Chains A and B, each alone.
Chain A
Amino acid sequence: MFQTTQTMNRFSWFAAFFLTATTAFPANEAVVPEKHRQFFESYCTECHNADKQKGKLRLDNVSLKLDSVENAERWQKILNQVNSGEMPPDDSKQPEKGAKTEFLDSVANTLVVARKTLSDQHGNITMRRLNQREYKNTIRELLGVEVDVHDLPKDGGSGAFDTVGAALFMSSDQFEQYLALGRRAVDDSFVRALGASAQSKESPLRTIRERREVELHANAKVGGTYNGYYKGGYSVAKAYLDSDRSKPPSAFGKGIADEVEAKFRVRVFDEHGPSFERYLNDPLTQKGAYLTIYNVITEEVVTLPPDQPSGWLKTKHEVEKVEPGRYKLRFRIGAVKGTPQERHFVALGSRSSGTEDFSLMHTFQISGTIDEPQIIEFPVNITGNGPRTFVVREKRDVKLDFDLYTAARKATGVGPEPALWIDWVEWEGPLAEPNPPAIAELFVAENTETPETQTARALLERFAVRAFRDLKPDPAYMDRLIELFQVRRKAGDSFHDALKEPLSVVLASPGFLYLAEPSSGPTRRHLTQREFATRLAYFLWSAPPDSELLALSQTGDLSKPEILSKQLDRMIDDPRSSAFVNAFVHQWLGLDRLDFFQFDTKVHRTFDESTKAAARTEVIETFASLLQKRKSLNYLLKSDFVVINGLLANYYGIPDVSGDAFRPVKLAPDSPRGGLLGMAAIHAMGSNGKDSSPVERGAWILRKILHEPPPPAPPNVPQLSRLEGKLLTTHERLMAHQEQPQCASCHRKIDPIGFGLENFDAAGKWRTEDGYEKKGVGKKTWPIEPAGAFHNGPAFKDYFELRDLIAAKPERIARGLTEALIEYGLGRPFGFSDEDLAVRILEQSQKQNFEVRAFLQALVSSTDFQMK
């Protein structure tokens, strides 16, 4: 639609958009336009005709209609040959650039359509297994415990959503992992179940609260290091160096081997000693500990037994080991007066035993002071094999520590002033929580009248029904489970222990692992109410249906419009819906790209792991907020508010926002923020961690916001290398894309949009200048020039105009969202046969001003969502 005429004015450009919003979107017939036959006749058929058939290829009779795999393959080859520049051969007549560009553009896009048409599944939904997230959530709902699904193979990977059955495989290794994970979960849940009823003083399962005054540990460590290594080493070294050297260093004390080492120890004492002295002389270190940078004491730990803080001062834990379950971590902390606001954040991470790693869990803004510290509380799940050490440190990229420390030391003689002070740390748990019914049922008092096997069978069957989401297992299967029970019983296991094996086998059985919807015959059928409840629950919660949904399915009321509508609202309002929001938004908008590279924090100093995590959360929380508050999707394009927390407000320079909760914040009228285009995460994805990438950004906007995805990057396109060693602006470099038709066919659409976003640097901060430096060549800076025009579309003079043009086309992102929801919700790729469904969802939600919730409403009440 963009490739009509160059003179198209702004009005007709928009008219074209509105026209297509309500009619069918892409042509669902893959046909290369007839006009390109002329291209063939001019450049190809001289050799590839009926008589010559060079390379055994005839193009004079080639069908322009790509309606079979064979023909699509043939066109793919044609495209490849022209793209790679092999055809037409160098010694024959060459097409004019413009014509070649148009030809490549047209063929590439027709092939995209052809692939879709040819792979259309005509509404067929392939049965699928639970993906990692659903498996984890289902185990939690069933057993009340967390499993570490890290060991399971990653889902998806072929570009589909992780709910698409055809892309979810099963292998023997995976089956064995399910068995092992299921067993671990059953073990953990048994421990927990026993704990819930065992709060006596002797029980290892009673809730314990253990506090540690951090100064004991910190001062032993800091004092020990200072007096031992630094000061002690210094006095020995100094005495040796000042002597007449007739005696070896060992005559003056321990630890110095030779003169080189003696000199080194004198130097490190001069360099680092003062920072230790400052720490030890500060009276506040008698009551707590500072969190410093690079040297002295950079972190505090909360350890659950059997883990220990460090060798410096072991804690005497109240018990030797705590059992899996839910725990609370707490620490009392305050910010040091006079230090900058941006340093008043503390990062909490987990650490696996015996390592020095730090895996970020959460970042907290500290508003408390040393006089009035605040208490931070954070819940954690302790599993049988997961981490038990938790680390608290100032939020930052520790890779920069040495530079920061050295700079401060050179300026003031000591390391950077600490910004945070911590009073104590503690943990509490395992918290007594009610057992989920599936587990509670196993522990009801046994009726001694009934034979044991019969009891076991009844318990196992009830468990299997729950695990299979309200479906009764076969008697033959129950017989086998009982045999497993009996074998364990004979081997000497207690009644309950003998149940563990059959229970974990249930969790590796197809009835649990697969969302099966039987369908014999070629015609599609309505889902049963139970199947519908299951599909709904896995769509919105990534978890099994709860008792309310199951009850409604048993009475047959679930699909009644008014009841379904109420249930949808209830499900969205339930915290479990965050599983949907997180997983869906992450995949829909391709947020995985945020993890593709390490950010260069030397250039983007404050874009550390905490900021990156917050930037990602902003995207998710914004969508969640629109969904929860019944707001329009249009706010993703442009909005007068952002959904941020204190950390991001600080990062964006938005005043008067503090605290860790994400909430809507009103923006100044001239703010570039508001909507996806103003989000740091979106711009960071459109970068390589150091420099912005207009190409990535432009392509992303076309794909996700304007719903005009460029064809996949073609293989075998010649590389542009002639710009080697030149100092050029980003603009100048990328203009090379326009020189060759192979590049221009896509980049003429992609690049202008990317240039319009150049005011955002790689970490999403606003800038007005960019620069490039190359060793041995020189340095160059240039002002950002965002002005440009859509290919065959309207011009914009800056980012704000670009954003307005994009925001005027909500139908585009609405269409993208619709297709993504269909794919995610139905668990199969969006196909051409879904056209009617997509149009209906769009029409229905457009009536409600594209309210985000309306899309979900329209999808779940559609016939397709209730059909196998």
Chain B
Amino acid sequence: MKPSPLSRRHFLRSTAGSLIALPFLPSLDFRAFAQEKSTTPPKRMIFLGFGYGVTNETWFPNLAQTGSDYTLPPGLAPLERHRKDFTVVQGCTNKFANEAHWGSTFWLTGANRYAEPGQSFHNSISADQVAAGILGNDTRYASIQLNTPDVQNSGHGPGLSLAWDQRGKPVAGLDNPVVAYHRLFSDETLPLEQRQAALKQKRSVLDTVLEDARRVQRGLSSSDTDKLDEYFQSIRDIETRLGKDEQWLTVPKGKAPMPEPKPGLAGREEIKVMYDLIVAALQTDATRVITYRQPVQTLLASLGSKVASHDMSHYTPGERTEASQKRDAAQSELLAGLFDKLKAVKEADGSSLFENSCVAYGSNIRSIHYLDNCPTVLAGGAARLKLGQHIVLPKNTPLANVWLTLLRGIGVPAERHGDSTGVAKELLA
């Protein structure tokens, strides 16, 4: 008789559990060392951006009902069970945004596309990367960028993820959950010595290409030098990463608190598994800053809608509006699921991961071609925000003020961000 598959799986699970305990110890040690200053859990930031905006009429709470006593409109209704733990903010705008289909390019940066004379595109650092500059010091990855493969049809605009680096260049994102999973949790199986040798070899590879980069650089015009500087910066970034790799060489990656994702997930399933990865990455302290640029077209398709995402965003009464509303609700439901998971994870001091995280969810596009009153939901306890609220800020408050508030809230000493004019005090507890 064949062994029952249940008992076999059971067996594997139990052995894996006991096996993992030993190599896990040094990792705990290392983290204890890294966080010597305090025993309180670290702060985390999550940014979730969804390109095309929301259904104006059914997503935003009534402007007349502010404070904690407000009705959640249908588009946000699936978040009801968390209503005390998040805040809906209205009134924010990236005043320079002028492309009606770019929902993510300037969302976290608040930059002026035309700020550089003679250039048709300019951007500046995104809020998550500012946070990563501080929160990223003690983790294996300073930040993780997740992305959807459905970029083309999701109203995001130029960029490789939600993140833009110090020089306003796009930061690449992982658009495959399986790859992201392995980046976070799969350890190199090679012996330490060989991994050290591999690191050394990687460094000599970098030295080699730099040698050629210096040749190319000779006699370049200033704009070409800027261009080649992207290459130099890429190499420097890898060097920083190698430095980190070296520092973490003897520390095994955290044990994955989730199974490896199935390949080829799209739409709702993709978002769900990416949310799982976000929780898993934060829980294991692989990183403390995560962004995710979400799909729209494949989400619609996975909800059984045939409407194209762009048409959906230009909802006319009937099929398109229905699709738009269905999508709002589905996203809120997924977000509620993420909150559930963040709340369920307990930290060393007994608090929940949710209490130590700051979540921002939204888009640069309100709906259709509207770029004012960017839809914004904030949650989590890390940034000392007033939660459970519907807050209406003065019209056209820079969205960057919100980002600045979050950054200061989690302890990043930023003076300003993008086109910010100051902290939005209304948001603070």
Contacts and interface: CB of A to CB of B under 8 A. Distances in A.
A724 B317 contact: yes
Given A487-B201, A520-B221, A716 B369 contact: yes
22 contacts: A122-B118, A126-B223, A127-B223, A128-B227, A169-B170, A170-B234, A171-B230, A171-B237, A172-B241, A174-B234, A175-B235, A474-B211, A474-B215, A476-B211, A477-B208, A484-B208, A501-B201, A508-B209, A509-B209, A600-B306, A690-B306, A713-B369
A18 interface: no
B117 A118 contact: yes
A717 B369 contact: yes
Contacts of B377: none
Given A124-B223, A716-B369, A725-B317, A595 B152 contact: yes
Interface in A492-523: 501-502, 505, 508-511, 513-514, 516-520
How many B residues are at the interface, by size bracket? Answer: 35 or more
Interface of B: 56, 97-101, 114-115, 117-121, 151-153, 157-160, 169-172, 201, 204-205, 207-209, 211-216, 218-221, 223-224, 227-228, 230-231, 233-235, 237-238, 241, 264, 301, 306, 308, 310-311, 316-318, 368-372
A102 to B, nearest CB: 22
A355 interface: yes
Contacts of B230: 169-171
A127 B169 contact: no
B100 A712 contact: yes
B32 to A, nearest CB: 30
B152 A484 contact: no
Contacts of A568: none
Contact of A516 (B99, B171, B208, B216): B216
A153 interface: yes
A112 to B, nearest CB: 12
A144 to B, nearest CB: 24
Nearest to A474: B215
Given A69-B114, A169-B170, A126 B308 contact: no
Nearest to A481: B208
B60 to A, nearest CB: 14
Interface string A115-144: 100111110101110000000000000000
Contacts of A698: none
Contacts of B371: 715-716
A176 B238 contact: yes
A171 B172 contact: yes
A429 B109 CA distance: 53
Interface string A144-159: 0000000001100110
A511 B311 CA distance: 44
B205 A484 contact: yes
Nearest to A508: B209
A167 B121 contact: yes
A774 interface: yes
Q: Which 10 A-B pairs have the closest CB atoms?
A: A518-B219, A173-B172, A480-B208, A172-B237, A597-B308, A127-B224, A724-B317, A119-B120, A157-B158, A509-B212
Contacts of B100: 712-715
B118 A518 contact: no
A863 interface: no
A719 interface: yes
Contacts of A72: 114
A570 B297 CA distance: 44
A15 B362 CA distance: 52
Contacts, number: 200
Contacts of A520: 219-221
Interface in A257-277: none
Contacts of B372: 84, 715-716
Nearest to B208: A480
A520 B221 CA distance: 5
Interface of A: 69, 72-73, 76, 84, 115, 118-122, 124, 126-128, 153-154, 157-158, 160, 165-167, 169-176, 179, 355, 473-474, 476-477, 480-481, 483-484, 487, 501-502, 505, 508-511, 513-514, 516-520, 592, 595-598, 600, 688-690, 712-717, 719, 721, 723-725, 774, 829, 868
A11 B211 CA distance: 66
Nearest to A600: B306
Contacts of A715: 97-100, 369-372
Given A166-B121, A724-B317, A474 B172 contact: no
Say whether chain B's binding surface is mostly helix, strand, loop, or mixed.
Answer: loop
Contact of A69 (B117, B153, B241): B117
A200 to B, nearest CB: 36
Contacts of A158: 120-121, 158
A518 to B, nearest CB: 4
Contacts of A513: 231
A171 B234 contact: yes
B207 A124 contact: no
Nearest to B229: A170
A170 B231 contact: yes
A84 B369 CA distance: 11
B83 to A, nearest CB: 29
Contacts of B158: 157-158, 167
Given A121-B119, A355-B264, A474-B215, 5 more contacts: A122-B118, A154-B151, A157-B159, A596-B153, A829-B120
Contacts of A868: 221
Report which residue of A172, A514, A716 has the largest number of chain B beta carbons within 10 angstroms of its beta carbon: A172
B151 A119 contact: no
Contact of A119 (B114, B152, B205): B114
Nearest to B216: A510
A115 B228 contact: no
Given A119-B118, A166-B119, A519 B369 contact: no
A716 B237 contact: no
A476 B213 CA distance: 12
B220 A519 contact: yes
Contacts of B159: 157
B122 to A, nearest CB: 10
A487 B121 contact: no
B306 A473 contact: no
B120 A719 contact: no
Contact of B224 (A119, A505, A519, A716): A519
Report which residue of B207, B223, B233 has the largest number of chain A beta carbons within 10 angstroms of its beta carbon: B223
Contacts of B211: 474, 476-477, 480
Contacts of B121: 158, 166-167
Contacts of A121: 118-119
B394 to A, nearest CB: 13
Contact of A484 (B204, B214, B308): B204
Contact of A171 (B56, B117, B171, B218): B171
A355 B97 CA distance: 42
B223 to A, nearest CB: 5
A673 to B, nearest CB: 27
Contacts of A481: 208
A688 B323 CA distance: 15
Contact of B231 (A175, A179, A714): A175
B212 A487 contact: no
A171 B368 contact: no
Nearest to B240: A172
B269 to A, nearest CB: 15
Contacts of A511: 212, 215-216
B209 A505 contact: yes
Contacts of A689: 306, 308
A517 B301 CA distance: 46
A725 B220 CA distance: 62
B212 A474 contact: yes
Nearest to A479: B211
Contacts of B201: 484, 487, 501
Contacts of B209: 505, 508-510
B260 to A, nearest CB: 14
B125 to A, nearest CB: 14
Contacts of B241: 172
Nearest to A690: B306
